[in-house]
Amino acid sequence: MLVVSPDLLIHSANPAAENLLGRSAKRLRGRDVTEILDFGEPEITRRIKQTEEQLIARGLPLKREDKTVSVNLTISPLQTHTGWRVVTLSDSGQGERFGDEERRVSLRGPAVLAHEIKNPLAAIRGAAQLIARQLDEGKRDLTNLIADEVDRIAQLIDRMQRLGREKAEPVGPLNLHAAIHRACDTVKAASDKPLYLKEEFDPSLPDVLANEGALVQVLINLISNARDACAGRREPQVVIQTRFVSGLVMNVIRLGRPVKLPIEISVSDNGPGIDPSVEEHIFEPFVSSKPHGQGLGLALVQKLVRDMDGRISHERDDSGGWTHFRVHLPMAK
């Protein structure tokens, strides 16, 4: 985010703008914004100079000192300061470069809505960063809170977008235990909460047919949930087990044929179990038994598993005091 004065000079820039433009705030300060934002399009430059108009544009080619990047641009006038404006830039990224037909469809879907929400969020976060720079270290609690909450909302939007995608990721042969170890490392690194983990692996298992990124995400969600569920126990335990099961077959409508699912991964915990009031709907969006849960984690897990032609289920063993989530996947040939 850039703050621009009435005479088109850059007054301040937040860290995200520094990274995107490849220049420090010190180098940007006092420069003409139309020189820094070189899109090679006279009409865009003319619109930038019109101080009272809001401008929104997507996929503009921004020329930097070292390369050209594709950006989304929003310029909004500051209502409280005549002539001053806030310029919000975001990397449009490879993920937004659709084909013509996909672009027409996306304009009617959640992608545009997500962008319209994220754009003002970026401005809010940028403003908080600029304010924080003017405060002493001990007085930044509220600005840090703003930035953290903006990040949380943005992550929620990202998860909703992933949940709405129709196209499945490509699958291939994958070492299951390597994926589990990667997920465990991520869970341990992402939180200060301890992970009391026990592994019961079948070392003779063949590779599974899966997408690595999707499977790791599934495991991260399940392991994190299990750790949180048993955190209040005197001796919390999470057990990850892999085994070969025979006879489990699922009809995959997309493929038009049954698929054998002999590889089982189970993530179990000795927590109190899922609230009975939501147990039957646990894989539905916005259903959660956690006090501050968003209800998107397990919905996303189910979608990712189904995209890999797999199956996920859960059960409560009250006699032993364990909750089990089981994922069944096809074997790589």
Do 202 and 312 lie in one domain? The reply is: yes
Of 164, 193, 227, the last residue of a domain is 164
What average pLDDT does this structure show over 161-178?
A: 80
Do 33 and 147 lie in one domain? The reply is: yes
Strand partners, 86: 3, 76
User: What is the predicted pLDDT for the residue at 142?
Assistant: 84
- Whether the pLDDT of residue 291 is over 60: the answer is no
pLDDT digits (tens, 9 = 90+) for 203-235: 999 999 999 988 998 999 999 999 999 988 989
How far apart are the C-alpha atoms of 279 and 289, rounded to whole Å? 9
Strand partners, 329: 263
Do 111 and 180 lie in one domain? The reply is: no
What average pLDDT does this structure show over 120-139?
A: 84
pLDDT digits (tens, 9 = 90+) for 220-275: 999 999 999 998 898 999 999 999 998 777 756 555 667 889 999 999 999 998 88
Q: In the numeric block, which tokens belong to residue 316?
A: 């409560």
Candidate ranges 97-111, 229-243, 276-290; pick with highest mean pLDDT: 229-243
Which residue segment(s) compose the domain that 131 sits in?
Answer: 2-164
User: Is the distance from CB of 305 to CB of 218 less than 8 angstroms?
Assistant: yes
User: What is the predicted pLDDT for the residue at 114?
Assistant: 63
Beta-carbon count within 10 A of 226 CB: 27
How far apart are the C-alpha atoms of 226 and 234, rounded to whole Å? 15
User: What is the predicted pLDDT for the residue at 216?
Assistant: 92
> Which among 5, 14, 13 has a CA at the least distance from the CA of 150?
14
19: amino acid identity, one letter: N
Do 16 and 64 lie in one domain? The reply is: yes
Do 104 and 178 lie in one domain? The reply is: no
What average pLDDT does this structure show over 275-292?
A: 72
- Whether the pLDDT of residue 287 is over 70: the answer is no
CATH code at position 285: 3.30.565.10
pLDDT digits (tens, 9 = 90+) for 35-46: 888 888 888 888
pTM exceeds 0.75, yes or no: no
How far apart are the C-alpha atoms of 298 and 159, rounded to whole Å? 11
Of 120, 146, 164, the last residue of a domain is 164
Do 31 and 149 lie in one domain? The reply is: yes
Do 119 and 207 lie in one domain? The reply is: no
Do 6 and 143 lie in one domain? The reply is: yes
Of 140, 164, 188, the last residue of a domain is 164
What average pLDDT does this structure show over 189-215?
A: 90
- Tell me the C-alpha to C-alpha distance, in Å, between residue 256 and each of 155, 277, 309: 35, 35, 12
User: What is the predicted pLDDT for the residue at 144?
Assistant: 84
206 compared with 15, residue with greater pLDDT: 206
- Tell me the C-alpha to C-alpha distance, in Å, between residue 46 and each of 41, 62, 70, 127, 258: 9, 16, 19, 25, 60
Do 317 and 216 lie in one domain? The reply is: yes
User: What is the predicted pLDDT for the residue at 251?
Assistant: 59
User: What is the predicted pLDDT for the residue at 99?
Assistant: 40
Percent above pLDDT 90 for the chain: 28
As for how many domains the chain has, the answer is 2
- Whether the pLDDT of residue 59 is over 60: the answer is yes
Do 176 and 120 lie in one domain? The reply is: no
Rg (CA), the chain: 25
CATH code at position 63: 3.30.450.20
Give the 3-state secondary structure of residue 36. helix
Do 215 and 129 lie in one domain? The reply is: no
What is the CA 241 to chain-centroid distance, rounded?
27
Beta-carbon count within 10 A of 259 CB: 19
209 compared with 18, residue with greater pLDDT: 209
- Whether the pLDDT of residue 95 is over 90: the answer is no
- Quick one: angle between helices 297-307 and 141-164, nearest 10? 30
314 compared with 54, residue with greater pLDDT: 314
- Tell me the C-alpha to C-alpha distance, in Å, between residue 52 and each of 41, 120, 168: 20, 18, 44
Do 109 and 22 lie in one domain? The reply is: yes
User: What is the predicted pLDDT for the residue at 93?
Assistant: 56
